[in-house]
Structure 1
């Protein structure tokens, strides 16, 4: 490879957050006019790497990064995304940044508006120049034509389908002067199959006119069909950098999750065929309107006493399942618990029925941050089940049983190894791992029949992860409590679950035993095939 043709060079880049190393000596190159596919499991380091490349504030505010990044042979270290844009790097994020009340043309030229001079502006300066709408439409149309698509520049964005909005975002980036590199972060995640095909063709058109692209996608068949090179991240390391020629999706899936592909792991129990009389929970055609984690149509049965894992890539809907069932986001469909219909959109009803939820948002939803540990552990049981209360005058007056609250808190502090100064320490002052243990204790204190636990080990260290998973397994075995664990960590699910359901595109694409081939989990997550009720694979690509 000629160094003259290298646009982007990443050399020895590393990054850590609060002692947690998320990138370790990352190195790769991208040539001018080429498309690089960047793939990896959740938590592999893709987002952090792109944040470094685009100069996101979170990087500089957390101590910066090690290593070097070169653009056209010059070392760069952007302080903000504005610097990156000026250097010719554009980025299209998963979340749209369009103004619904503006037209397509106005959004494409946002902050790059064409103006025209007037007599007044000649006296008072550029700030009183007027918007040149015909020139805006002309410039926007040129960018849209470059993508090879048809969009009306005068249409309001609020009246357009989601797929078209993605093209507007890309058109805005290529409209910038001297654009050299565009980062596309899961651009096809919101697109239909036909829209995705149009986008892939547009990407090739951009590459042909000399614009380089970093393409992040969980749809592995897109990676193999459009990319010139593929970089695979795993656990913060580049494990593979290769030309895409002759690489298939199965090989990429193995690289992504490869640490255990050929190893036989040990699991708690073998997969058992579900008997209808053993069903404790059933969802039929469940939909959940949770931003970024929408569920479209999920039907699922959970057996009494099992640990069911639910996995999938970020944004595919797995987090929407428990949040919808617990009434935290609007939902519909049918839910049955212990053979009886359960009202949706009613958190109190779910809790009173014996369904408890440990949220992925422990600080925002799970904890009373400015209250002590004992209050946090006892609060839901007190409010919903009247536990930890003393009754006076035949129940007319109820008062907190501080002694019982303390005893309960001390029990869980010991059994879950919660590191704290005392049961009166405020939850805000605990580490992330210990906050998560308090959330578990809060759930256990309610003696749930069914426990949903969402991202139980997110953001906590290895030692705390082990304790949390052990606590869940032990609670399940000792109480025969049914547990549903939603996690982005596949190996975590394989280590504890009896069955694992994989969510993709807002639906369950299949359920596998934990000792199934790891590559099959990867292909399910990528939406390459589905598994029907008979356990047969139905290939979609």
Structure 2
């Protein structure tokens, strides 16, 4: 007799205020199996996993329909603590770490190792002390299972985003009762090398009998590590197939219901902008950003180009825009359009018509509990007095609700943001749609220079093409100069005119986007 699946989700349904987001979902998962869960942003993947993990938002919005069975026994999780007790772990798309705590303290939060003391023996185990040595051992063991090198003693605030992601995963791996691990976009903030280390870790989990549900928009990773591929679209499972019997184009067509064109043929193979004037000059830039090395960056950006910045994790690419925009302490010289721009003063950058889309959309990019209207319009309202009605010669200003609604609706339409209305809260959107709102907020500023870091983080293959096309359109139609930072070299090659590679805190070289991959690789290793 065949052994029952470790997990069964039968006829799962879910709606939010009458908006049906999941319809009749059926999924099985066996011990040690890895399934890839694919779908566009808004397809229902994260909602389905929140149901499985007992997320509070599901209970607070009326629960769900259908049944969940673990080892052939029906379960009903009222909170994530119930799911954890049943052996389910989840690494969310957005970080859930305590900023002021070290990696070890986050990994073992609420599961700390303790040791007895004289006082606890006499009075109460509440007087036990933390066994720091044992905690460090467990944390280090979990980190080593991933095959990466992160500092267990580093405070979360000081970590680059890739190390935060590994800390989240190590927290789950440290749980002895772990049977099922849900990974929601775990490689979105990782470099290719880091992502490969994580894929190796997933293979190791499978061999140890841990079942994995792997959600990612990097479809090559799905085919590399998964046993089965489950594809969702508009709240339904539209296809389920062994990973060995499908391909990226097939999965893409199931996800989006259409073919997504390959833009590889549009690479810029020559430096065709030599005659353009320099609009941004960066000299001797250093940035004090934990986890990033920015020592001596010298870089000229040409007017009207899209300049890509790439490189390995921690080598400085993320620190450059943050230092220029005043989000991290920095030194050096910045000249834009003939004017010196003082560092460590974000308002001066905004007044010079700079805009910035950060890689951390939830902690930096969005007002999560405010409407989409407020998110899109607020920076332009504050900095440029846009979307305001002025009375008595400007002595009294009042927001122009009609103009705010109009501009928000415009970008919702252009970026195809999936939402219920312009008044929906940013928190309620899927991760990819939140990223689009971050872009809309920057576009509404009508900048002369746009810095954008990891613009397609957590965005599906269909929406990725849409976002990159939107950046190209902004560049070509409005003449906006764009500096784009990305961990995905292929994304930079498809979008940019030139790509600067940062290694060891310096620009090791600049190449046309269509140059051979080997030359980019050589530059990445030059100053390491």
Distance in 2 of aligned mates of 1:537 and 1:481? 31
CA distance in 2, matches of 1:298, 1:66: 58
Once the 2 structures are TM-superposed, how far is the Cα of residue 184 of structure 1 from its aligned partner? 2.8
Provide the C-alpha distance between the structure 2 equivalents of 1:42 and 1:285, rounded to a whole number of angstroms.
40
Give the match for residue 422 of structure 2.
433
Does residue 88 of the first structure (1) align with residue 124 of the second (2)? no
- Against the structure 1 CA distance between its residues 287 and 538, is the aligned structure 2 distance closer, same or farther, given a 3 Å change threshold? farther
Counterpart position of 1:505: 487
SS in 1 for 2:61: coil
2:74 corresponds in structure 1 to 75
- Correspondence for 1:140: 138
Which residue in the other structure is 1:30 paired with? 29
Give the direction of change, closer, same or farther, for the CA distance of 1:219–1:344 in structure 2 (3 Å limit).
farther
Conserved 8 A contact 1:318-1:506: no
**2: CA distance, partners of 1:217 / 1:285:** 38
Deviation at 1:434, TM superposition (A): 6.1
Deviation of 1:536 after TM superposition, in Å, equals 4.7
Please give the residue correspondences for 1:238-387 in structure 2 after superposition, counting only pairs within 5 Å.
238-249=237-248, 251-253=250-252, 255-256=254-255, 259-261=258-260, 276-277=275-276, 326-328=325-327, 337-338=336-337, 340-355=339-354, 363=367, 380-381=383-384
Number of equivalenced pairs: 452
Question: What is the CA-CA distance between 1:352 and the residue it aligns to?
Answer: 3.4
- Measure, in 2, the Cα distance between the counterparts of 1:507 and 1:295: 20
Distance 2:255 2:60 in 1: 30
* Matches of 1:103 and 1:379, distance apart in 2: 37
Alignment of 1:99-114 (within 5 A): 104=104, 110-113=109-112
Deviations 1:207-235 (A, max 9, x none): 22322112234444433222212233445
1:291, distance to aligned residue in structure 2 (A): 10
Match of 2:394 in 1: 400
Q: Which runs of 5+ in 2 are unaligned?
A: 264-270, 410-419, 426-432, 477-481, 497-509, 522-528
CA 1:177/1:309 → structure 2, altered by over 3 Å: closer, same or farther?
same
Distance 2:262 2:248 in 1: 21
Instruction: Verify the 8 A CA contact 1:10 1:68 in the aligned structure 2.
Output: yes
Give a deviation string over 1:278-311, Cα, whole Å, max 9, x none: 776678999989999999999795755x9x899x
Give secondary structure in 1 for the equivalent of 2:32: coil
Distance 1:9 1:455 in 2: 31
Are 1:213 and 2:195 counterparts?
no
Contact 2:91/2:182, CA 8 A, preserved across alignment: yes
Give the greater-gyration-radius structure (CA).
Answer: 1
**Partner Cα distance (2:129, 2:284) in 1:** 53
Listed as ranges, the matches of 1:417-432 within 5 Å are none
User: Against the structure 1 CA distance between its residues 182 and 254, is the aligned structure 2 distance closer, same or farther, given a 3 Å change threshold?
Assistant: same
Matches within 5 A, 1:151-170: 156=153, 170=169
- Report how far residue 44 of structure 1 moved: 4.2
Q: Matches of 1:123 and 1:484 in 2, distance apart?
A: 60
1:47 aligns with 2:29: no
Greater mean deviation of Cα atoms: 497-506 or 32-41: 497-506
1-structure distance, mates of 2:223, 2:244: 8
In structure 2, the CA distance between the partners of 1:536 and 1:455, relative to structure 1 (3 Å rule), is: farther
- Contact 1:7/1:32 (CA < 8 Å) preserved in 2? yes
**1:84 Cα offset (Å):** 0.6
Q: Label 1:197 to 1:161 Cα distance change in 2 as closer, same or farther (>3 A).
A: farther
Deviates more, 1:44-53 or 1:114-123: 114-123
**Distance in 2 separating the partners of 1:412 and 1:493:** 26
Are the aligned partners of 2:89 and 2:178 in contact in 1 as well (CA < 8 Å)?
yes
2:514 aligned partner: 535
Identify the range of structure 1 (181-190 vs 80-89) with the bigger mean alpha-carbon deviation: 181-190
Q: Give 3-state SS (helix, strand or coil) of 1:178's partner.
A: coil
Q: Distance in 1 between matches of 2:244 and 2:106?
A: 37
* 1:34 CA drift (Å): 0.9
> Cα RMSD (Å) of the superposition?
6.2
- Measured at CA, do residues 320 and 455 of structure 1 come closer, stay the same or move farther in structure 2, by a change above 3 Å? farther
Q: SS of the residue aligned with 1:28? A: strand
SS of the equivalent of 2:258 reads: helix
The farther-off stretch of 174-183 and 293-302 is 293-302
**Partner residue, 1:63:** 62
State how far apart, in whole Å, the 1-side matches of 2:351 and 2:148 are.
53
Decide whether the 8 Å contact of 2:354 with 2:451 is kept in 1: no
Distance across 1 between alignment mates of 2:176 and 2:338 = 62
- Is the contact made by 1:92 and 1:185 (CA closer than 8 Å) also made in structure 2? yes
Superposed, 1:440-519 pairs within 5 Å as 458=437, 489-490=463-464, 491=466, 494=469, 497-498=472-473, 504-505=486-487, 509-510=491-492, 512=494
- 1:89 offset after TM fit, Å? 0.7
